[in-house]
Structure 1
Amino acid sequence: MHTTVTFKGQLPLVGVNAKGQKTRFDATMDFSGPAKYATPMDTVLEALGACSMMDIIAIIKKMRKELTLLQADLEAERAEEHPKVFTSIHIRYRMKSLDGSLADLEKAAGLSMEKYCSVAAMLRGSGCNITWSTELA
């Protein structure tokens, strides 16, 4: 993997990956005014949700179930001292499916969080406690 992040005198920072896809990063800083884009820590939290959802979608599809909605709401706590790493994250998964059950979602979420999600593994490696719950929409 490769990416480049560039600062051109003002925010946002622009990241460009090897495929040419761009991500903008912002922060509230005295010289830039209010943030228009997500902060790097926002994107880490979003990446956790997206990474685990990709796993869940694949697992549910392998179960031959049809997903019409999958949503992850993430709540995080951060350390008060620098570096202000995530100390705990709770993910609430909500699924809507014509033929999938809560048990299907619970199994898929468990597999993602305990085995497949690389973002979750990295965050746990830093000492972050990650919990999750599931519900049908």
Structure 2
Amino acid sequence: MKTTVRWTDGVSFEAETGSGHRVTMDGAPEMGGRNLGGRPIEMLLVGLGGCTAFDVVHILKRGRHDVTGCEVAIDAERAPTEPKVFTHIKLHFTVSGRGLSDDAVKRAVDLSRDKYCSASIMFAQVAKMEHSFEVREG
């Protein structure tokens, strides 16, 4: 797996993934950024959310559950001093579907957390991780 990150100007960077997609990142205005993209540290949480949501949807669909939506709200805390690593990450899943049971969603979240989501498993090495979920009909 490869990614290339190129400095564009100021404190803006463009990343090109190995699959050919581009992402713009920019620093905060107080650091000279122009707010043209997410902060690089935010991208770590974006990757975490995408990785685990992908797993949850995939697991539910593979189990023939009628899932129609999945959202992950992530709230992360960082250490107060450098390096400001993540210390506590809370993930809250809102999963929608027709006839979805709490047990099925819990199983999918647990499997993602414990077995499939590489990002979640890596973050758990350095931060306290909390997972919660709710199921909505529809």
TM-score when normalising by structure 1: 0.92
Task: Give SS of 1:84's match.
Answer: coil
User: 4+ residue runs of structure 1 moved beyond 6 angstroms?
Assistant: none
Tell me the secondary structure at the aligned position of residue 104 of structure 2. helix
- How many pairs does the alignment contain? 136
Q: How does 1:83-122 map to 2 (within 5 A)?
A: 83-122=83-122
Kindly report the root-mean-square deviation, in angstroms, between the aligned alpha carbons of the 2 structures: 1.5
Quote how far apart the aligned CAs of 1:42 are.
0.8
Q: What is the CA distance between 1:29 and its match in structure 2?
A: 4.3
Provide the C-alpha distance between the structure 1 equivalents of 2:2 and 2:30, rounded to a whole number of angstroms: 31
Residue pairs, 1:27-106, within 5 angstroms: 27-30=27-30, 32-106=32-106
AA aligned opposite 2:133? T
Residue 136 of structure 1 corresponds to 135
Q: Which runs of 5+ in 1 are unaligned?
A: none
Please, what TM-score do these two structures have when normalized by structure 2?
Answer: 0.91
Q: Deviations over 1:85-126 (max 9, x none)?
A: 10010111011111221111111000100111100111122x
> Helix, strand or coil for the counterpart of 2:46?
helix
CA apart distance, 1:12: 2.2
- Overall identity of the aligned pairs, in %: 28
